[in-house]
Amino acid sequence: MKSYSDYIWFETEKKVEYIRITDEVEQRLFDSGIQEGFCLVSAMHITASVYVNDAEQGLIQDINEWLQHLAPEEKDYRHNSLSDPNAEAHLRRLIMGHQVVLPVTEGKLDLGPWEQVYYAEFDGQRRKRVVIKIIGE
């Protein structure tokens, strides 16, 4: 069994962004040389998410509007009065999840035909990172 770790760094231009990172994850898998196993992709910040879904702009807008409905910025959250005014970003991360585990088969990410890996930033404009951990043979 082998393991491989690397990081992708981000500094988004906007507070909220959705960034397709499939190619970067696939490059790390290639670099690892692992042919069969699992690839963990995890946001290392409590206001960001990693998820898998379709790379379709309408869907990304729908996800963003859905999250705004579930965790609106305008709400008077207790967290905002005690700490940074970013409670909605923490809640959105809980909804979207912070990591995904992807199967690796024959040296490739074993994704469905439309599946792509995304990094979602909910409190951006500062330096953040994602860890990629690949284990297998």
How do residues 80-128 score in pLDDT, each as one tens digit? 888 889 999 999 999 999 999 999 999 999 999 999 999 999 999 999 9
pLDDT in tens, 32-48: 999 999 999 999 999 99
Boundaries of domain holding 93? 2-136
- CATH number of the domain enclosing 53: 2.60.120.460
pLDDT in tens, 51-65: 999 999 999 999 999
Which residues are CB-neighbours of 46 under 8 A, at least 6 positions away?
Answer: 90, 93
Which residues are CB-neighbours of 12 under 8 A, at least 6 positions away?
Answer: 19, 121, 124, 125
Q: Which pTM does this prediction carry?
A: 0.94
Angle at 43 between CA 15 and CA 47, to 5 degrees: 40
How many domains does the structure of the chain reveal? Answer: 1
CA distance 78 to 115: 36
Residue 25: band (very low, low, confident or very high) from pLDDT cuts 50, 70, 90: very high
Tokens of 3: 């393991």
